[in-house]
Structure 1
Amino acid sequence: MSASHFKAKLAGRTGLVLITLGHLMAYGGLAWTARTAGSLREPVIGQTVGWYLLATFSFLLALHWAEKQRHFPVRWLWGGAILFRLLLLTTTPTLSDDVYRYLWDGHLVTAGISPYQYRIDAPELDELAIPARTLANNRWMASPYLPAAHWLFAAIVWLLPAKPFSAQLILILIDLGVALIFGQLLRVWGQPPHRLLWYLWHPLLIIEIAHGAHLDIWMTGLALLALLIAFRPVSPQPARLLSPLFLALATLTKILPLFLLPVIFWRWRWRERLLY
């Protein structure tokens, strides 16, 4: 096989298959490490870093392939994204213990108790104890999270058992919904659809959400909804009022979306500004 023929095959479907196999090896390796060692931290942090570097390298190759081809097969894009997340859904979060605080706060909300009222180890809460309570961090303090975060936590506990898997599953579903919003934003901003790959196959996002069950994706989804409604060329007036509402909810999850205000404020009419 000539060198030119080999390069042509790598630029085609063969290259895409090899790149995808690299991703599958990385996330499969992380899942296997987590299940056999019981953790992705010490004493297997070296393996975790190695699998993460493989995922990052494969991701960069995928970006190069997509930019060179100027497209990325939609089924491949979404199929890979879902499969990578499902592999990590089989793991229990160990890189961070934030998920246990989410579950505990949600448990309190569903019981009609304010998470701001008591510290985790307060004796008044002993009768409400669940396994997440003993595993939650910063037991000496009440909840540090804002109200919109608590609404999400309560929804998770209300819908499913108060276990890490429940938070991982719900946040993966939110994550995939955010990808749909991001795809719409790419269209509004005139960007090629294959650049959704930057989001769907990004290893940090996949690991932090599918394994770590981090809250930030909820905030991100609300903020992107606000942007989409504000920047969409034609939006009915009632729908436009949702833009400041979503940005407010994002800000009530974490304060970071406040930095979007200078960008989005001038896209709003006076009614949206007053509502915010």
Structure 2
Amino acid sequence: MIHKAISYWKLHRFPMIMVLTSILFYSAFGYQLPRTDFVKLICLYAALFFICYKLIQLEKWNFKFLLIAGTLFRFILLFAEPNLSQDYLRFIWDGQLIIHGINPYLHLPKDLLMEVHHSIPHAMDLYNGMGELSASNFSNYPPLNQVIFAISTFLAGPSILGSVMIMRIFIILADLGIVFFGRKLLLKLNKSTHLIFWYFLNPLVILELTGNLHFEGVMLFFFVWALYLLHQQKWKVAAVVFALSISIKLVPLMFLPLFLKYFGIRKSIYFYAWVGGVILLLALPFYSPEFISNYSQTIGLWFSNFEFNAGFYNLVKYIAEFWGAKPWELIKTYGMIVPIITIAWIGLLTFIRSNQTVNSLVASMLWILSLYYFLSATVHPWYVIFLIALTLFTQFRFPIVWSLTIVLSYFAYSNEAYKENGFLLLFEYIAVYGFMIYEIVRLKSTDYLFHKN
């Protein structure tokens, strides 16, 4: 036994040293990093990203080693309260409302505080911690996500950290599920299975999902599982699982038109019926006449009121302000135009591309979501994680570059005014656009984008 351990150490000592180093860095990130310390943040992140690259390069065929390493990195963060996001406090608030029989879609936290501050544990702390913006808006988290919030707060009782830990376990299990189904799908698509570790070991994925408790990973678990089921021609089960993905985060909704060509018109109608039926079934316990109005109002704010880490929008804003436009009017106008452009782009890729194989389908999804984020006025770092998952099943890798550079957007948290640094954002997007253009040129033409086979 000792002889085997020594031999293994000799063969893998450098990767093992890198894993131990990463554990220390993730510990520092989770337990010792104030989000105002931008220099420490980017240094730790750059080091973790480099180690991620080297681990995949050196051990890409050692599945167990990389799986254990990625799992360890996540469990290191198990007891840390999120330090780069305060969204988790709204998650706990919503969960507490549900277990107390209150619909989170019908009441603003600021209106409920006085009524529930005695019955909900730490209500004042949750309210103050979630921030004024969250407290002034209805919940925008879909029904299945709310169920996870409720289960976590119910099992944890009055403990905020306990709720965080249970939600974190959901997210870790989802990431393990992505590895399981993602690897199987890569095999079916004749792609290298080690590519899944560009998701599982990516520090953006680990820090934003496990660390900061964003539920993109749970959504992606159902999404990747649904893609695998589609490849296996189990479309009814795939429809149910796809609906579960939408019921965690709404983003996969924009991909539904692509199935018109994948299934054909008649079968796609049945697919949509299954998806819609499951979504409605999950939403039914929360339904009331005000539900749709409140939810739509909150979702609409993201198109017309907020801006963070924007790419193309910042260019438009710079030009518009030069000609005397008012920023608060510009973002509302811009917010109305982006959905129109996105819908037109979805229609174009729906009817120009064949979308008759999972390969073609995923490539269309990648380009739809990429354009949407390129145009969006708000691109939080965890949004890019969906692109990372999609890109593994295509020939493109620019989202992985974006997962490296997007951490520059956290400069905004280093100052009290939350003011962004234009030069850092410019560097971020030049790197992403530049690498994307390089990849398109490398493929000789845009034939891949409008591939018909």
Q: Same fold (TM over 0.5)?
A: yes
Q: Which amino acid aligns with 1:136?
A: M
CA contact (8 A) 2:95 2:153 kept: yes
Corresponding residue for residue 239 of structure 2: 244
Q: Is it true that 1:29 corresponds to 2:28 in the alignment? A: yes
Give, in whole Å, the separation in 2 of the partners of 1:175 and 1:25: 21
Corresponding residue for residue 47 of structure 1: 40
Give the SS at the match of 2:108. coil
TM-score (norm. length: structure 1): 0.81
Q: Which amino acid aligns with 1:135?
A: G
Match of 1:65 among 58, 73, 82: 58
Corresponding residue for residue 259 of structure 1: 254
Q: Which amino acid aligns with 2:119?
A: L
Q: Which amino acid aligns with 1:127?
A: H
How far residue 24 of structure 1 moved from its aligned partner, in angstroms, is: 2.6
Match of 1:77 among 66, 76, 81: 66
How far residue 64 of structure 1 moved from its aligned partner, in angstroms, is: 2.9
Give, in whole Å, the separation in 2 of the partners of 1:64 and 1:78: 14
Corresponding residue for residue 84 of structure 2: 95
**What are the Cα deviations for residues 3-56 of structure 1, in whole angstroms up to 9, with x where unaligned?**
xxxxxxxxx63442343244234213324524xxxxx312x3322221111101
Which sections of structure 1, spanning at least 5 residues, go unmatched?
1-11, 35-39
Q: Percent identity?
A: 22
Q: Is it true that 1:150 corresponds to 2:146 in the alignment? A: yes
How far residue 208 of structure 1 moved from its aligned partner, in angstroms, is: 0.9
Q: Which amino acid aligns with 1:192?
A: S
Corresponding residue for residue 129 of structure 2: 135
| Number of residues of Structure 1 aligned to a counterpart in Structure 2 | 250
Match of 1:119 among 108, 129, 136: 108
How far residue 142 of structure 1 moved from its aligned partner, in angstroms, is: 2.4
**What are the Cα deviations for residues 218-240 of structure 1, in whole angstroms up to 9, with x where unaligned?**
211221222111112x54xxxx3
Corresponding residue for residue 5 of structure 1: none
Corresponding residue for residue 3 of structure 1: none
How far residue 80 of structure 1 moved from its aligned partner, in angstroms, is: 0.3
Corresponding residue for residue 208 of structure 2: 208
Q: Which amino acid aligns with 1:33?
A: Q
**What are the Cα deviations for residues 92-132 of structure 1, in whole angstroms up to 9, with x where unaligned?**
11100001111110111122210012111323333333223
Give the SS at the match of 2:248. coil
**What are the Cα deviations for residues 159-191 of structure 1, in whole angstroms up to 9, with x where unaligned?**
333522232232222222222222222122222
Match of 1:159 among 155, 160, 169: 155
CA contact (8 A) 2:30 2:83 kept: no
Give, in whole Å, the separation in 2 of the partners of 1:160 and 1:267: 44
TM-score (norm. length: structure 2): 0.51
Give the SS at the match of 2:140. coil
Distance 1:93 1:32, change over 3 A: closer
Give, in whole Å, the separation in 2 of the partners of 1:216 and 1:242: 21
Give, in whole Å, the separation in 2 of the partners of 1:77 and 1:64: 11
Give, in whole Å, the separation in 2 of the partners of 1:30 and 1:52: 8
Give, in whole Å, the separation in 2 of the partners of 1:211 and 1:179: 18
Give, in whole Å, the separation in 2 of the partners of 1:230 and 1:103: 34
Greater relative contact order, per chain length (Cα 8 Å cut-off, separation 6+): 1
Distance 1:262 1:117, change over 3 A: closer
How far residue 262 of structure 1 moved from its aligned partner, in angstroms, is: 4.2
Give, in whole Å, the separation in 1 of the partners of 2:142 and 2:209: 19
How far residue 150 of structure 1 moved from its aligned partner, in angstroms, is: 1.1
Corresponding residue for residue 175 of structure 1: 175
Structure with higher Rg: it is 2
Q: Which amino acid aligns with 2:150?
A: A
Corresponding residue for residue 390 of structure 2: none
Give the SS at the match of 1:99. helix
CA contact (8 A) 2:170 2:218 kept: no
Distance 1:101 1:184, change over 3 A: same
How far residue 81 of structure 1 moved from its aligned partner, in angstroms, is: 0.9
How far residue 263 of structure 1 moved from its aligned partner, in angstroms, is: 4.4
